[in-house]
Amino acid sequence: MSAINNELDLNNQVMDSNEFVPLHLLVSWRGSYRMMDSIVGEVEKMCFGSQVVKANLDKQSALDSRFGVMNVPTFIEIEARKILKQAGYAKSKNVILAEL
C-alpha cells in the first residue's frame, strides 16, 4: 500500500499510470471511518491486495473536489487516467463489495 502526500505523488502513482489503480480516500478523524476501519482493511485485501493507494483528505484537501467526493471513506478505481468506478460508504462489507 502506498500513500499520496502531494500532487506529484498523485500524478506519479495514479494519474500517469496506464494500469489499474485503486485509490482510497479517507479522513482519519471521521467517526464513520473509525467504525469502518476493519471492514475497509478487509475489502482492500480481498479486492486489491497491496496495490491500493491511500490519500488522507485531511492532508490532501484538494482531492475531494478533484474527484467529486461526496462520502468518505471512498474507493475510486482508475485505469489509464479514467475513473472506472467510485463508491463512498459507511456500509456493510457485502454492500461495498457489490459496488466495487
What is the tens place of the pLDDT at every residue in 32-76?
A: 666 666 776 777 777 766 577 888 888 888 888 888 888 888 888
pLDDT for residue 3: 80
- Write a three-state SS string for 14-66: HHCCCCEEEEEEECCCCHHHHHHHHHHHHHHHHHCHHHCEEEECCCCCHHHHH
Domain boundaries, the chain: 2-99
pTM: 0.74
**Fold held by 2-99:** Glutaredoxin (3.40.30)
